[in-house]
Structure 1
């Protein structure tokens, strides 16, 4: 038995409460059009706007910023049913998240809600991971209404934004890492904020389980385990155990 071996710590997968304040949103070329649209409220070009972007790109963050400014309620598309439409817009502003999830969508109720919102001048912000034409909508009038709605798309992040988001993800978890860790991740993962979130969460769990800080060798080892780097990539994974 190795008496000097550090005890293995239990890594509890506790929910992380992300910070969705205006000051926490990082703006770059990939999302500046969407951010500008949110900031332009109440001078919107239409009552209904559609915000699209891949998972984890910041749609919910922007929706939260607008909801705070407009005192809007936030619901998922799954919560919209015919009997609740009038109640949902009674607050005067509404965010509808994830209209791309077809299994949770009442198209007739959603179309009725958008018509009523336009009639009562109630601003509605919808978020979707896909463009309108990719939603597979079975209701032609709803498809037409959403096609005509102005909006903005969040694009994949550039290198600078990806690095900034990785730093923020560590800060949100109260983790202090060297710049070399950020560089190792940014150079190897695909340009996806969802992927960045996944890798940082895995690093947090791994470091907590080992009872060690997050280092570049550990980051490379985790990336290799996730299939995001090659076994001979600069530093061997075994080096992680010595840091």
Structure 2
């Protein structure tokens, strides 16, 4: 190898955002999420106007909510956008998704009014959160009571088959050609979450681009170790 090639600087990768694909055909169903997927498919035959979708970060809550929003012609808002001023417009939507209900800063008074308005109109409301309302730190007993009355469906931790499929899909979404040995090498060593899979593939993409090389098993294991040490 020539001195010029050896001294070639690493490329500076462009951190271009990857638009997630939230179509029904892109959702991967497995035992950990099939109950949640079935409930989304079951709409409008829900047991209650309000449904809570509970699962860890990166579990697919937003994806499922997007599938349902398209089907139900629902408006989507974050919990932070639920204010007293916004409640009339939100409650007037044909259906509504409110995401990240447990992120903090919830306007409990506005949220209570929104729940009452949706229930009285019979319109469907889908709430997403990482945890149950009992641990949101709510100070309004009536709001907690209302939330407890709504059914919840959980998304569990992904099994190995789902993680494998998600890793392959994430590589394909980024148009990366990766040998199956790379996926099989990282599977038993990585954190068991879809969020971890997303971080790993994004980091591998950037690292491979910066080095000007393809993603190999040694590179994948090196990146995985770096992420585990909190240096990624």
Q: Give the TM interval when normalised to the shorter protein.
A: over 0.9
1:227 aligns with 2:232: no
Residue among 76, 86, 100 paired with 1:98:
100
The number of residue pairs the alignment matches comes to 227
Q: How far apart are residue 14 of structure 1 and its match? A: 1.3
**How many Å separate the matches in 2 of 1:139 and 1:223?**
43
Match of 2:89 in 1: 87
Q: How far apart are residue 197 of structure 1 and its match? A: 0.6
**How many Å separate the matches in 2 of 1:150 and 1:76?**
20
- RMSD (CA atoms): 1.2
| Comparing 1-10 and 14-23, the one that deviates more | 1-10
Where in structure 2 are the equivalents of 1:43-192 lying within 5 Å?
43-103=45-105, 105-192=106-193
Q: How far apart are residue 8 of structure 1 and its match? A: 2.1
**How many Å separate the matches in 2 of 1:19 and 1:7?**
34
When the two structures are superposed, what TM-score results if normalisation uses the length of structure 2? 0.95
**How many Å separate the matches in 1 of 2:123 and 2:223?**
47
When the two structures are superposed, what TM-score results if normalisation uses the length of structure 1? 0.91
Q: How far apart are residue 227 of structure 1 and its match? A: 2.7
Secondary structure, in 3 states, of the residue corresponding to 1:83? Answer: coil
**How many Å separate the matches in 2 of 1:227 and 1:110?**
38
**How many Å separate the matches in 1 of 2:177 and 2:42?**
35
Q: How far apart are residue 184 of structure 1 and its match? A: 1.4
Unaligned runs of 5+ in 2: none
After the TM superposition, list the runs of 4 or more consecutive aligned residues in structure 1 that deviate by more than 6 angstroms.
none
Secondary structure, in 3 states, of the residue corresponding to 1:50? Answer: strand
Match of 1:218 in 2: 219
**How many Å separate the matches in 1 of 2:135 and 2:198?**
25
Match of 1:238 in 2: none
Q: How far apart are residue 7 of structure 1 and its match? A: 4.7
Match of 1:2 in 2: 3
Q: How far apart are residue 215 of structure 1 and its match? A: 0.7
**How many Å separate the matches in 1 of 2:72 and 2:13?**
39
Secondary structure, in 3 states, of the residue corresponding to 1:195? Answer: helix
Q: How far apart are residue 91 of structure 1 and its match? A: 1.9
**How many Å separate the matches in 2 of 1:23 and 1:227?**
32
Unaligned runs of 5+ in 1: 229-243
